[in-house]
Homo-oligomer: A and B are copies of this chain.
Amino acid sequence: LPTTVTDFTERELIARIQARLPPPPDWLLVGIGDDAAVVEPARNRLEVLTADGLVEGVHFDRGFTPPHAIGHRALAVNLSDLAAMGAEPRLALLSLALPPALSCGDFDEMIAGLAALASRQRLHIVGGNLTRSPGPLMIDLTATGSVKRRDVLTRAGARPGDEIYVSGSIGAAAAGLQMLRAKTANTEVEICTRRYLYPEPRVRLGLLLARNRAPSACMDLSDGLADAVHQVAAASGVGMRIDREALPIEPCARDWFDARGSDPVTEAITGGDDYELLFTIRPAYRGRLRAASRHVDVPITRIGVCTKDPAVVIRRRSGDSSSDTPIPRGFRHFA
Protein backbone atom coordinates (compact mmCIF):
# COMPACT_ATOMS: atom_id res chain seq x y z
CA LEU A 1 0.00 0.00 0.00
CA PRO A 2 1.33 3.49 -0.78
CA THR A 3 1.81 5.73 2.22
CA THR A 4 -0.60 8.63 2.66
CA VAL A 5 -0.24 11.88 4.56
CA THR A 6 -1.97 10.26 7.54
CA ASP A 7 1.05 8.01 8.06
CA PHE A 8 2.94 11.08 9.26
CA THR A 9 2.69 13.59 12.06
CA GLU A 10 2.17 17.24 11.24
CA ARG A 11 5.77 17.91 12.23
CA GLU A 12 7.06 15.25 9.86
CA LEU A 13 5.09 16.74 6.97
CA ILE A 14 6.45 20.19 7.80
CA ALA A 15 9.97 18.71 7.81
CA ARG A 16 9.31 17.30 4.33
CA ILE A 17 8.40 20.81 3.17
CA GLN A 18 11.44 22.37 4.84
CA ALA A 19 13.71 19.84 3.16
CA ARG A 20 12.74 21.33 -0.20
CA LEU A 21 13.32 24.95 0.74
CA PRO A 22 16.57 26.81 0.09
CA PRO A 23 18.60 28.16 3.06
CA PRO A 24 16.74 31.01 4.81
CA PRO A 25 17.54 34.54 3.59
CA ASP A 26 19.25 36.87 6.06
CA TRP A 27 16.13 39.01 6.51
CA LEU A 28 14.28 36.00 7.98
CA LEU A 29 14.99 36.26 11.71
CA VAL A 30 12.57 33.57 12.96
CA GLY A 31 11.36 30.98 10.47
CA ILE A 32 9.21 27.85 10.55
CA GLY A 33 8.92 26.30 14.02
CA ASP A 34 7.88 29.16 16.31
CA ASP A 35 4.43 30.70 16.84
CA ALA A 36 5.02 33.05 13.90
CA ALA A 37 7.72 34.16 11.49
CA VAL A 38 9.73 37.34 12.15
CA VAL A 39 11.18 39.27 9.25
CA GLU A 40 13.14 42.43 8.68
CA PRO A 41 11.10 44.70 6.36
CA ALA A 42 12.67 45.66 3.03
CA ARG A 43 14.40 49.03 3.39
CA ASN A 44 12.65 52.05 1.89
CA ARG A 45 10.04 49.91 0.25
CA LEU A 46 6.30 49.56 0.54
CA GLU A 47 4.92 46.12 1.25
CA VAL A 48 2.53 44.44 -1.19
CA LEU A 49 0.31 41.63 0.10
CA THR A 50 -1.99 39.22 -1.67
CA ALA A 51 -3.83 36.00 -0.83
CA ASP A 52 -5.20 33.48 -3.26
CA GLY A 53 -6.02 29.81 -3.13
CA LEU A 54 -6.98 26.79 -5.17
CA VAL A 55 -9.76 24.40 -4.22
CA GLU A 56 -9.98 20.91 -5.70
CA GLY A 57 -13.10 20.57 -7.82
CA VAL A 58 -13.33 24.35 -8.29
CA HIS A 59 -9.90 25.46 -9.51
CA PHE A 60 -8.37 22.16 -10.50
CA ASP A 61 -9.29 18.56 -11.20
CA ARG A 62 -6.87 16.04 -9.78
CA GLY A 63 -7.90 13.71 -12.59
CA PHE A 64 -5.77 15.67 -15.05
CA THR A 65 -3.75 18.13 -12.99
CA PRO A 66 -0.51 16.57 -11.73
CA PRO A 67 0.33 17.47 -8.11
CA HIS A 68 3.46 19.23 -9.32
CA ALA A 69 1.28 21.57 -11.42
CA ILE A 70 -1.13 22.17 -8.52
CA GLY A 71 1.77 23.43 -6.39
CA HIS A 72 3.09 25.55 -9.25
CA ARG A 73 -0.27 27.12 -10.05
CA ALA A 74 -1.10 27.90 -6.42
CA LEU A 75 2.00 30.05 -6.19
CA ALA A 76 1.78 31.40 -9.76
CA VAL A 77 -1.62 33.03 -9.17
CA ASN A 78 -0.18 34.93 -6.21
CA LEU A 79 3.02 35.90 -8.00
CA SER A 80 0.93 37.21 -10.87
CA ASP A 81 -0.85 39.56 -8.44
CA LEU A 82 2.49 40.83 -7.16
CA ALA A 83 3.67 41.29 -10.76
CA ALA A 84 0.60 43.38 -11.55
CA MET A 85 1.57 45.79 -8.73
CA GLY A 86 5.19 46.01 -9.88
CA ALA A 87 6.41 44.29 -6.72
CA GLU A 88 9.46 42.12 -6.20
CA PRO A 89 8.42 38.80 -4.57
CA ARG A 90 9.64 38.29 -1.04
CA LEU A 91 7.88 35.68 1.08
CA ALA A 92 4.82 33.49 1.35
CA LEU A 93 2.84 31.60 3.96
CA LEU A 94 1.35 28.30 2.87
CA SER A 95 -1.92 26.87 4.20
CA LEU A 96 -2.79 23.35 3.18
CA ALA A 97 -5.94 21.34 3.89
CA LEU A 98 -5.13 17.76 2.91
CA PRO A 99 -7.55 14.88 2.35
CA PRO A 100 -6.39 11.85 4.40
CA ALA A 101 -6.11 9.70 1.27
CA LEU A 102 -3.56 12.02 -0.36
CA SER A 103 -0.48 9.94 -1.06
CA CYS A 104 2.81 11.02 0.34
CA GLY A 105 4.27 11.01 -3.16
CA ASP A 106 1.59 13.41 -4.38
CA PHE A 107 2.18 15.63 -1.36
CA ASP A 108 5.91 15.75 -2.08
CA GLU A 109 5.31 16.48 -5.77
CA MET A 110 2.95 19.32 -4.97
CA ILE A 111 5.51 20.88 -2.64
CA ALA A 112 8.24 20.33 -5.25
CA GLY A 113 6.19 22.22 -7.88
CA LEU A 114 5.63 25.10 -5.50
CA ALA A 115 9.22 25.16 -4.23
CA ALA A 116 10.69 25.13 -7.75
CA LEU A 117 8.74 28.23 -8.78
CA ALA A 118 9.48 29.89 -5.42
CA SER A 119 13.23 29.37 -5.86
CA ARG A 120 13.16 30.63 -9.41
CA GLN A 121 11.32 33.78 -8.35
CA ARG A 122 13.37 34.23 -5.15
CA LEU A 123 10.37 33.97 -2.89
CA HIS A 124 10.83 32.29 0.48
CA ILE A 125 8.21 30.21 2.33
CA VAL A 126 8.40 31.47 5.92
CA GLY A 127 5.50 29.68 7.54
CA GLY A 128 2.01 28.39 7.20
CA ASN A 129 -0.35 25.81 8.41
CA LEU A 130 -1.21 22.18 7.74
CA THR A 131 -4.57 20.66 8.47
CA ARG A 132 -6.60 17.74 7.31
CA SER A 133 -9.59 18.23 5.03
CA PRO A 134 -12.69 16.06 5.25
CA GLY A 135 -13.38 17.11 1.66
CA PRO A 136 -11.34 18.60 -1.17
CA LEU A 137 -7.64 19.41 -1.24
CA MET A 138 -7.14 23.13 -0.66
CA ILE A 139 -4.00 25.14 -1.04
CA ASP A 140 -4.03 28.74 0.10
CA LEU A 141 -1.12 31.15 -0.12
CA THR A 142 -0.45 34.63 1.14
CA ALA A 143 2.47 36.23 -0.67
CA THR A 144 4.22 39.52 -0.06
CA GLY A 145 6.51 41.61 -2.19
CA SER A 146 8.22 44.97 -1.98
CA VAL A 147 8.08 48.00 -4.22
CA LYS A 148 9.33 51.59 -4.15
CA ARG A 149 6.60 54.07 -3.33
CA ARG A 150 6.77 55.85 -6.67
CA ASP A 151 6.84 52.58 -8.64
CA VAL A 152 3.54 51.05 -7.43
CA LEU A 153 1.26 50.00 -10.30
CA THR A 154 -2.49 50.07 -9.71
CA ARG A 155 -5.60 49.68 -11.83
CA ALA A 156 -6.61 53.28 -11.35
CA GLY A 157 -4.33 55.55 -13.40
CA ALA A 158 -5.39 55.06 -17.04
CA ARG A 159 -6.37 58.23 -18.95
CA PRO A 160 -8.17 58.78 -22.26
CA GLY A 161 -5.67 58.40 -25.08
CA ASP A 162 -3.47 55.91 -23.20
CA GLU A 163 -2.68 52.84 -25.26
CA ILE A 164 -3.61 49.38 -24.03
CA TYR A 165 -1.10 46.54 -24.10
CA VAL A 166 -1.09 42.89 -23.19
CA SER A 167 1.88 40.59 -22.59
CA GLY A 168 2.28 37.16 -24.16
CA SER A 169 -0.72 35.54 -25.80
CA ILE A 170 -4.25 34.78 -24.69
CA GLY A 171 -6.62 31.84 -24.98
CA ALA A 172 -4.03 29.10 -24.58
CA ALA A 173 -4.89 28.26 -20.99
CA ALA A 174 -8.63 28.09 -21.70
CA ALA A 175 -8.02 25.85 -24.71
CA GLY A 176 -5.56 23.79 -22.69
CA LEU A 177 -8.15 23.17 -20.00
CA GLN A 178 -10.67 22.02 -22.64
CA MET A 179 -8.03 19.72 -24.13
CA LEU A 180 -7.24 18.21 -20.73
CA ARG A 181 -10.94 17.65 -20.09
CA ALA A 182 -11.31 16.04 -23.53
CA LYS A 183 -8.25 13.90 -22.83
CA THR A 184 -6.75 14.96 -26.16
CA ALA A 185 -3.02 14.39 -26.36
CA ASN A 186 -0.47 15.21 -29.01
CA THR A 187 2.54 17.45 -29.32
CA GLU A 188 0.44 20.29 -30.75
CA VAL A 189 -1.86 20.57 -27.75
CA GLU A 190 1.09 20.54 -25.39
CA ILE A 191 1.59 24.28 -25.87
CA CYS A 192 -1.91 24.97 -24.59
CA THR A 193 -2.09 22.35 -21.83
CA ARG A 194 1.29 23.43 -20.54
CA ARG A 195 0.06 27.03 -20.43
CA TYR A 196 -2.88 25.91 -18.30
CA LEU A 197 -0.84 23.66 -16.00
CA TYR A 198 2.26 25.82 -15.67
CA PRO A 199 1.31 29.48 -16.12
CA GLU A 200 4.32 31.78 -16.01
CA PRO A 201 3.64 34.84 -13.85
CA ARG A 202 5.11 37.96 -15.48
CA VAL A 203 7.10 39.00 -12.45
CA ARG A 204 10.13 40.35 -14.31
CA LEU A 205 8.01 42.30 -16.76
CA GLY A 206 5.97 43.83 -13.93
CA LEU A 207 9.16 44.85 -12.14
CA LEU A 208 10.73 46.41 -15.24
CA LEU A 209 7.57 48.30 -16.15
CA ALA A 210 7.27 49.60 -12.60
CA ARG A 211 10.91 50.71 -12.44
CA ASN A 212 10.51 52.56 -15.76
CA ARG A 213 7.27 54.03 -14.52
CA ALA A 214 5.90 53.26 -17.95
CA PRO A 215 2.30 52.14 -17.23
CA SER A 216 -0.49 54.40 -16.04
CA ALA A 217 -2.43 51.29 -14.93
CA CYS A 218 -1.75 47.57 -14.72
CA MET A 219 -3.63 44.38 -13.85
CA ASP A 220 -3.20 40.67 -14.40
CA LEU A 221 -5.51 38.54 -16.54
CA SER A 222 -6.50 35.92 -13.97
CA ASP A 223 -10.19 36.14 -14.89
CA GLY A 224 -9.72 36.82 -18.58
CA LEU A 225 -9.08 39.86 -20.72
CA ALA A 226 -12.73 40.91 -20.97
CA ASP A 227 -12.94 41.09 -17.18
CA ALA A 228 -9.61 42.94 -16.92
CA VAL A 229 -10.48 45.72 -19.37
CA HIS A 230 -13.70 46.35 -17.46
CA GLN A 231 -11.88 46.43 -14.13
CA VAL A 232 -9.16 48.81 -15.27
CA ALA A 233 -11.68 51.01 -17.11
CA ALA A 234 -13.92 51.23 -14.04
CA ALA A 235 -11.05 51.85 -11.60
CA SER A 236 -9.57 54.54 -13.86
CA GLY A 237 -12.83 56.16 -14.94
CA VAL A 238 -12.20 55.73 -18.66
CA GLY A 239 -13.65 53.67 -21.49
CA MET A 240 -11.70 51.24 -23.64
CA ARG A 241 -11.75 50.26 -27.28
CA ILE A 242 -10.10 46.96 -28.10
CA ASP A 243 -8.97 46.10 -31.62
CA ARG A 244 -10.35 42.66 -32.44
CA GLU A 245 -7.69 41.94 -35.05
CA ALA A 246 -4.83 42.99 -32.78
CA LEU A 247 -5.56 40.43 -30.03
CA PRO A 248 -2.60 38.04 -29.68
CA ILE A 249 -4.56 34.81 -29.64
CA GLU A 250 -2.29 31.78 -29.31
CA PRO A 251 -2.43 29.98 -32.70
CA CYS A 252 -2.97 26.49 -31.25
CA ALA A 253 -5.87 27.86 -29.21
CA ARG A 254 -7.37 29.55 -32.29
CA ASP A 255 -7.19 26.26 -34.20
CA TRP A 256 -8.77 24.37 -31.32
CA PHE A 257 -11.68 26.80 -30.95
CA ASP A 258 -12.16 27.04 -34.73
CA ALA A 259 -12.32 23.26 -35.06
CA ARG A 260 -15.06 23.18 -32.42
CA GLY A 261 -17.12 25.89 -34.12
CA SER A 262 -16.68 28.37 -31.27
CA ASP A 263 -15.48 31.93 -31.81
CA PRO A 264 -11.77 32.14 -30.93
CA VAL A 265 -12.00 35.82 -29.92
CA THR A 266 -14.90 35.29 -27.52
CA GLU A 267 -13.26 32.21 -26.05
CA ALA A 268 -9.87 33.88 -25.72
CA ILE A 269 -11.11 37.06 -24.01
CA THR A 270 -13.56 35.37 -21.66
CA GLY A 271 -11.37 32.37 -20.81
CA GLY A 272 -9.48 32.70 -17.55
CA ASP A 273 -6.14 31.39 -16.32
CA ASP A 274 -4.04 33.55 -18.67
CA TYR A 275 -1.68 35.08 -16.17
CA GLU A 276 -0.59 37.82 -18.52
CA LEU A 277 -0.41 41.52 -17.71
CA LEU A 278 -2.74 44.12 -19.18
CA PHE A 279 -1.43 47.65 -18.91
CA THR A 280 -1.98 51.14 -20.27
CA ILE A 281 0.72 53.53 -21.41
CA ARG A 282 0.44 57.11 -22.57
CA PRO A 283 1.77 57.42 -26.13
CA ALA A 284 4.68 59.67 -25.05
CA TYR A 285 5.99 56.81 -22.89
CA ARG A 286 6.34 54.25 -25.67
CA GLY A 287 10.11 54.60 -25.34
CA ARG A 288 9.94 53.53 -21.71
CA LEU A 289 7.95 50.46 -22.72
CA ARG A 290 10.50 49.60 -25.40
CA ALA A 291 13.31 49.93 -22.87
CA ALA A 292 11.55 47.62 -20.44
CA SER A 293 10.54 45.06 -23.03
CA ARG A 294 14.10 44.65 -24.30
CA HIS A 295 14.92 42.80 -21.06
CA VAL A 296 12.15 40.21 -21.20
CA ASP A 297 11.55 37.58 -23.84
CA VAL A 298 7.77 37.83 -23.83
CA PRO A 299 6.00 39.56 -26.71
CA ILE A 300 4.00 42.69 -25.92
CA THR A 301 1.08 43.69 -28.12
CA ARG A 302 -0.84 46.93 -28.41
CA ILE A 303 -4.50 45.93 -28.44
CA GLY A 304 -6.44 49.17 -28.12
CA VAL A 305 -6.85 52.60 -26.62
CA CYS A 306 -8.48 54.26 -23.61
CA THR A 307 -11.36 56.56 -24.41
CA LYS A 308 -13.22 59.43 -22.77
CA ASP A 309 -16.48 57.68 -23.63
CA PRO A 310 -16.90 55.23 -20.71
CA ALA A 311 -18.05 52.34 -22.94
CA VAL A 312 -15.87 49.23 -23.13
CA VAL A 313 -16.06 47.95 -26.70
CA ILE A 314 -14.35 45.71 -29.19
CA ARG A 315 -13.83 47.09 -32.72
CA ARG A 316 -14.05 44.91 -35.78
CA ARG A 317 -12.68 46.33 -39.04
CA SER A 318 -13.72 45.12 -42.45
CA GLY A 319 -12.25 47.01 -45.38
CA ASP A 320 -12.70 50.73 -44.68
CA SER A 321 -15.55 50.38 -42.24
CA SER A 322 -15.55 49.36 -38.62
CA SER A 323 -18.15 48.46 -36.01
CA ASP A 324 -17.94 48.56 -32.22
CA THR A 325 -19.61 45.96 -30.00
CA PRO A 326 -19.82 46.32 -26.21
CA ILE A 327 -17.75 43.76 -24.32
CA PRO A 328 -20.18 42.21 -21.87
CA ARG A 329 -19.30 42.77 -18.25
CA GLY A 330 -18.36 39.39 -16.79
CA PHE A 331 -21.25 38.77 -14.46
CA ARG A 332 -19.69 35.97 -12.50
CA HIS A 333 -22.16 34.52 -10.04
CA PHE A 334 -20.51 33.29 -6.89
CA ALA A 335 -21.56 29.67 -7.45
Q: Footprint of B on A, CB under 8 Å?
A: 5-10, 12-13, 29-30, 33-42, 45-53, 55-59, 80-82, 84-85, 87, 91, 93-95, 97-98, 100, 126-136, 138, 140, 142, 144-145, 147, 152, 154-156, 218-220, 235, 331-335
Contacts and interface: CB of A to CB of B under 8 A. Distances in A.
A11 to B, nearest CB: 8
A34 B154 contact: yes
Copies of the chain in the assembly: 2
A38 to B, nearest CB: 5
A220 B58 contact: no
Given A37-B50, A48-B37, A30 B128 contact: no
Contacts of A98: 334
A85 B39 CA distance: 12
A87 B138 CA distance: 29
Given A34-B235, A84-B36, A154-B30, A91 B49 contact: yes
Contacts of A41: 41-42, 45-47
A85 B135 contact: no
Nearest to A156: B34
Given A35-B84, A36-B84, A100-B335, A29 B46 contact: yes
A332 B132 CA distance: 12
A229 B117 CA distance: 37
B35 A81 contact: yes
Given A8-B333, A51-B129, 18 more contacts: A9-B333, A9-B334, A29-B46, A34-B85, A34-B154, A35-B50, A35-B218, A35-B219, A37-B48, A38-B46, A38-B147, A41-B41, A49-B126, A52-B95, A58-B133, A93-B142, A100-B335, A135-B136
Nearest to A223: B10
A36 B334 contact: no
Contacts of A9: 331-334
Contacts of A93: 49-51, 142
Contacts of A49: 36-39, 91, 93, 126-127, 144
B51 A235 contact: no
Residue of A30, A36, A41, A52 with most partner-chain B CB within 10 A: A36
A38 B48 contact: yes
A1 B57 CA distance: 27
A52 B130 CA distance: 8
A42 B335 CA distance: 39
A53 B127 contact: no
B58 A132 contact: yes
A335 B6 contact: yes
Contact of A85 (B33, B38, B94, B134): B38
